Structure 1
Amino acid sequence: MLKAHHSLESPVMRLHRLLALSLSLAPGLISTAAPAQKPQPFTVADALSAPFMNQLTAAPAKNRVAWFVDQEGIRNVWVASPGEKAHAITHYNQDDGQDIDDITWSPDGERVAYTRGTGPEGSEHPTAANPAHLQEDVQARVEIASVGGDVRIVGEGHSPVFSTDGKRIFFLRSGRIFAADVMNGTKQPEAIVIAKGTATALRPSPDGAKLAFVSRRGDHSFIGVFTFAGKTLTYADPGTGHDHDPVWSNDSKRIAFVRESPWITELDLRWMRSVPVPWSIRIANAATGEGTEAWHADKGTGSLFHEMVAKNQLLWMADGRIVFPWEKTGWLHLYSLMPGEQGPKLLTPGDFEVDNVVTDGERIVYSSNQVTTDQNDIDRKHLWSVTTSRNQPAAITKGETIETNPALMSDGSIAHMQASVHGPFLPQIGERVLVEQLTSRFPGSQFGTPDMVVFPASDGLPIHGQWFLPKNAKPGDKLPTIVFFHGGSRRQMLLGFNPMQYYAQTYELNQYFVSRGYAVLSVNYRSGTGYGMEFRQAPNYGAFGGTEYLDIEGAVKWLKAQPNVDTRRIGAWGGSYGGYLTALALARDSADFAAGVDLHGVHDWSYELDLWKPTDDPDHNTAAAAAVAFKASPMADVSKWKSPVLLMQGDDDRNVLFGQTVRLAAALRANGVEVEEKIFPDEVHDFLLHKNWVKAYELAADFFDRKLKNR
């Protein structure tokens, strides 16, 4: 059984040891052990200097893993195995804003394919992102790197996947499926499927004879099955629903997929708890396309499909069972189904949520916030394993660390990412940490340990948060205090580093604030994840009434009862959805919030969601919906806004309309409110340039120092 840490060391001791190690695996990732001395103040840039690592992926052979490393904006792919030193197989050396994603292995474990660059697909913007203003044709492209470090550009596209024999690579370009020869770099990629719709989710069959994919067609989608030998295309059990996440049977003769009701819009999914027609699992003959329903969810709780964090939502196991996620109990859990038998079996019972699910066909490994003996684990993640025959899941890791992103290696061992209060996520195999080095100036050893707190919202709903106090704070010290709201809103901040880069950096900034003498309360408000469907789909939240404001009120009441809080010096900050809540707090409660920093927040839901657009639903009252959304927005109360604010956004934002910041800034200035702003030309929502994150956070820190400390 894999253990989380050495038996003779506590998790905190071990992370301190890692932070002091001095290795020389790569320039820029070297740590230098220094004699013990009084900790020196650190900067925002220091706090953000730790490398961010994720996308840990196991090779089908050679017992190797690959992962993504972002070292202050310099992004590369790394590989390692138990018998070889971790090393980069790509060699990019600039903070150029070109991201790396979709890391996937060749069947022989000798090559890694990935997408480099952020393209326009899935965005209203017609061009690829280029925040560094590179004077070249920037586009998302597929690349292949060998374990030895040779890199080849395959061509424009994204989402690569190797053929079963490893000789070809398939990828997507402008909604079409392309193929390229892996070994012959002189041969140009070619389109291989002629079909209507937009193709996604490429899935080669185990025998290599076919390729399944999703064909999106607006108000419905199909599962396409392309046969290479005859160049024929068949659709699996086509209907009027949204079909997605195809998975092959082990013998390549059948294909299973999820079908959802066709009329559910993205806006509806934000608030619905159930649907009239529950989602289902269907199985089709891969050759003929004929299919039937294998199972459908019950009406009521769980009738609305909610995905898990996994490469595929359906797992076809070696014993013939299909494992899938379901919220039947109000919590996201794993179930197994033997087609033809009655009813699925619950594999992961309890009040917690599963995510990061992987399988080798025999066992399932996942992370969750299940509580066993430590109540704080509801705000952590640990690894668990289960099989379709075992009655109870088995814990793999535990303690004060955080584990996620498991990867099942070809020899059966488990690799994963581990983080703590003091250090970011690092990859490890068993107990061996693959990359133990951090930047020499990263001040993680000085980070404070947050406490889990639970306070009532003004309507009584329990709200979780993380409470940070400076290490030298004395009882009765009245400290300037900052309330942090995460984005999403489908997110959960943890008692330590977050596995998402955006929130790992917000955690680092909160730790910087604490080092500067601030108290910080990070709020896991309603509509976030980790606490079940009822909490996530909270009634009347966001554009449907803004009930998260009740959590803001509860946070203020809780803070006013804390002996270390100077109630005259409370600030708020957050990005995206957290920017919305920051603006809502300032608009409605300027008497409680002295200042705020709002990054790319939503300020008018009716404008953001285009709620005035006509609909063909005769029962939909467009004007009423827009009025409710506007009333739930900061713009509705802008006349009461008195507190100074710093607004920041990139003007190539593809998640939140840039006009949100334009309109709010104009309205506030018209009312005489003090507004500072920082705009990043050609930057997207989740900034692609590390230097822009550093600049934005430096400005935030300076702003709070001036407004809450009068400096």
Structure 2
Amino acid sequence: MKAALVLLVPFLLLPASAQSAAALARVDAAQMSIPAARERSYPGSALTVVRTLSAGSNYTRQVVSYQSDGLKIYALLTVPRGTPPKGGWPAIVFNHGYIPPTQYRTTERYVAYQDAFARAGFVTLKSDYRGHGSSQGEALGGYYAPGYTADVMNALGSVKKDPRVNPARIGMWGHSMGGFLSLRAMVIDRSVKAGVIWGGVVGDYDEMMNGWPHRAPASIPQRVLNLRRVAVEKYGTPKANPAFWNTLSATSYLKDLGGPIQLHIGSADEEVPVAFHTSLTARLKAAGKGVQSYVYPGGNHNLSQYLNTALSRSVAFFKANL
């Protein structure tokens, strides 16, 4: 961690355009491989309170920060009131989907989702990935650069350090891109005991690159979109070089999961193909892993029509498995 800090200090003193160029120059798709991710350490840090917010019905809310690769990452923390169970509260690392980084705010979006878990007696921590809101660093997307994965893993490391949390009772919830990050985290670190994914980008890289008709949001800079092109130029396509791309796909490592997964998706999801959900469900069953699968007729990407049902199922799943 000291080496990372030494490298980061001069980097943060560069103009924003130079920071972006420097961050891009360091990116290599090979850094996304699961074996490479497992070789790294993710100590996180103590959660530092930045601001105390109005409390929820039975829990406190605070904006906190933690360390990830020498960067200051902000997050929204909820902690139940009352006497914790023996060993500490169970916790959920909460991974949000794509929101334009410059529009992202710590206390906006996903409020009802996080509130449901907080009211049910879970500590929750929703990270503002690097480059989002006030978090330091460059937002380079989650699929071809390792930064967001590192931020999620260091959020996990930070939660484990918190004396109010039982480190043996930690799960992950992820939506859309956050589902991609949650699945990666679960195969990187078996200590994550359960995962819930809504509308998740959970295909392998061949499915993501060739079976996803979704058009990239206009808010994503071309320099970030170019990371895919650069990766293909260097390593070939998933069909031409499956050995390489399979090492990047969390779906190749499902036997290493430390706990079950619950999957939710709407049949009319306008962002993510239902095929990703179906494929992962089949792969989990083939790997002998516990899986619950829910497809909601006519449901959209946020499961708006089924929000209460999906949240109730998610809460019950975590209560049964954490």
Map of 2:197 onto structure 1: 598
CA-to-aligned-CA distance 1:496-526 (integer Å, 9 cap, x gap): 4x1xxxx2xx322322322222111111123
Counterpart amino acid of residue 301 in structure 2: H
Map of 1:687 onto structure 2: 303
Whether the 8 Å contact between 2:76 and 2:127 is mirrored in structure 1 is yes
Distance 1:594 1:493, change over 3 A: farther
Map of 2:92 onto structure 1: 482
Which residue of 460, 464, 475 maps to 2:74?
Answer: 464
SS where residue 653 of structure 1 aligns? coil
Trace 1:361-510 onto structure 2 (pairs within 5 A).
376=50, 421=54, 446=57, 448-457=59-68, 459-473=69-83, 478-488=88-98, 490-491=100-101, 494=105, 496=107, 498=108, 503=109, 506-510=110-114
Map of 1:521 onto structure 2: 125
Whether the 8 Å contact between 1:447 and 1:511 is mirrored in structure 2 is no
The answer as to 2:148 corresponding to 1:548 is: yes
Distance 1:465 1:476, change over 3 A: farther
Distance 1:556 1:619, change over 3 A: closer
Distance 1:653 1:509, change over 3 A: closer
Which residue of 563, 570, 573 maps to 2:170?
Answer: 570
Distance 1:622 1:516, change over 3 A: same
In structure 2, the gaps of 5 or more residues are: 1-14, 24-48, 214-228
Counterpart amino acid of residue 523 in structure 1: S
* TM superposition score normalised by structure 1: 0.33
The answer as to 2:236 corresponding to 1:624 is: yes
- Partner Cα separation in structure 1 for residue 175 and residue 201 of structure 2: 9
Instruction: Report deviation, 1:625.
Output: 5.3
Instruction: Report deviation, 1:451.
Output: 2.0
- Partner Cα separation in structure 2 for residue 705 and residue 678 of structure 1: 18
The answer as to 2:312 corresponding to 1:698 is: yes
Whether the 8 Å contact between 2:267 and 2:298 is mirrored in structure 1 is yes
- Partner Cα separation in structure 2 for residue 517 and residue 478 of structure 1: 11
Map of 2:321 onto structure 1: 707
Whether the 8 Å contact between 1:465 and 1:524 is mirrored in structure 2 is yes
Instruction: Report deviation, 1:421.
Output: 4.0
CA-to-aligned-CA distance 1:384-437 (integer Å, 9 cap, x gap): xxxxxxxxxxxxxxxx8xxxxxxxxxxxxxxxxxxx746xxxxxxxxxxxxxxx
CA-to-aligned-CA distance 1:251-293 (integer Å, 9 cap, x gap): xxxxxxxxxxxxxxxxxxxxxxxxxxxxxxxxxxxxxxxxxxx
Map of 2:138 onto structure 1: 535
Distance 1:531 1:469, change over 3 A: closer
- Partner Cα separation in structure 2 for residue 665 and residue 485 of structure 1: 20
- Partner Cα separation in structure 2 for residue 465 and residue 480 of structure 1: 18
Instruction: Report deviation, 1:608.
Output: 1.9
CA-to-aligned-CA distance 1:119-157 (integer Å, 9 cap, x gap): xxxxxxxxxxxxxxxxxxxxxxxxxxxxxxxxxxxxxxx
Distance 1:521 1:633, change over 3 A: same
Whether the 8 Å contact between 2:265 and 2:294 is mirrored in structure 1 is yes
Counterpart amino acid of residue 536 in structure 1: A
SS where residue 647 of structure 1 aligns? strand
- Partner Cα separation in structure 2 for residue 621 and residue 612 of structure 1: 20
SS where residue 601 of structure 1 aligns? coil
- Partner Cα separation in structure 2 for residue 527 and residue 580 of structure 1: 18
* TM superposition score normalised by structure 2: 0.69
Counterpart amino acid of residue 249 in structure 2: S
Whether the 8 Å contact between 1:487 and 1:575 is mirrored in structure 2 is yes
Which residue of 178, 184, 187 maps to 1:587?
Answer: 187
- Partner Cα separation in structure 2 for residue 551 and residue 528 of structure 1: 11
Counterpart amino acid of residue 515 in structure 1: R
Counterpart amino acid of residue 600 in structure 1: G
Distance 1:623 1:481, change over 3 A: same
- Partner Cα separation in structure 2 for residue 466 and residue 612 of structure 1: 31
Trace 1:205-284 onto structure 2 (pairs within 5 A).
none
Trace 1:95-110 onto structure 2 (pairs within 5 A).
none
Instruction: Report deviation, 1:561.
Output: 1.5
Between 462-471 and 625-634, report the one with greater CA deviation. Answer: 625-634
Map of 2:37 onto structure 1: none
- Partner Cα separation in structure 1 for residue 211 and residue 277 of structure 2: 19
Distance 1:481 1:620, change over 3 A: closer
Counterpart amino acid of residue 196 in structure 2: V
SS where residue 151 of structure 2 aligns? helix
Whether the 8 Å contact between 2:58 and 2:80 is mirrored in structure 1 is no
Counterpart amino acid of residue 452 in structure 1: V
Between 646-655 and 460-469, report the one with greater CA deviation. Answer: 460-469
- Partner Cα separation in structure 2 for residue 569 and residue 706 of structure 1: 11
Counting matched residue pairs gives 260
- Partner Cα separation in structure 1 for residue 231 and residue 182 of structure 2: 34
- Partner Cα separation in structure 1 for residue 246 and residue 147 of structure 2: 13
Map of 2:31 onto structure 1: none
Whether the 8 Å contact between 2:265 and 2:303 is mirrored in structure 1 is no
Instruction: Report deviation, 1:529.
Output: 4.4
Trace 1:31-50 onto structure 2 (pairs within 5 A).
none
SS where residue 75 of structure 2 aligns? strand
Higher RCO (CA 8 Å, separation ≥ 6 residues) = 2
- Partner Cα separation in structure 2 for residue 469 and residue 581 of structure 1: 23
Whether the 8 Å contact between 2:129 and 2:148 is mirrored in structure 1 is yes
Whether the 8 Å contact between 1:608 and 1:657 is mirrored in structure 2 is no
Whether the 8 Å contact between 1:646 and 1:703 is mirrored in structure 2 is yes
Which residue of 651, 667, 670 maps to 2:267?
Answer: 651
Between 476-485 and 596-605, report the one with greater CA deviation. Answer: 476-485
In structure 1, the gaps of 5 or more residues are: 1-299, 304-326, 331-374, 378-399, 401-419, 423-443
- Partner Cα separation in structure 2 for residue 489 and residue 656 of structure 1: 15
Which is higher, the Rg of structure 1 or of structure 2? 1
Whether the 8 Å contact between 1:490 and 1:536 is mirrored in structure 2 is no
The answer as to 2:275 corresponding to 1:676 is: no
Percent identity, please: 24
Instruction: Report deviation, 1:528.
Output: 3.5
Q: Once superposed, what is the RMSD of the aligned Cα atoms?
A: 3.5
CA-to-aligned-CA distance 1:282-333 (integer Å, 9 cap, x gap): xxxxxxxxxxxxxxxxxx9559xxxxxxxxxxxxxxxxxxxxxxx99x9xxx
Between 476-485 and 660-669, report the one with greater CA deviation. Answer: 476-485
SS where residue 303 of structure 2 aligns? coil
Whether the 8 Å contact between 1:611 and 1:625 is mirrored in structure 2 is no
Instruction: Report deviation, 1:462.
Output: 2.4
Trace 1:47-446 onto structure 2 (pairs within 5 A).
376=50, 421=54, 446=57
Instruction: Report deviation, 1:665.
Output: 0.8
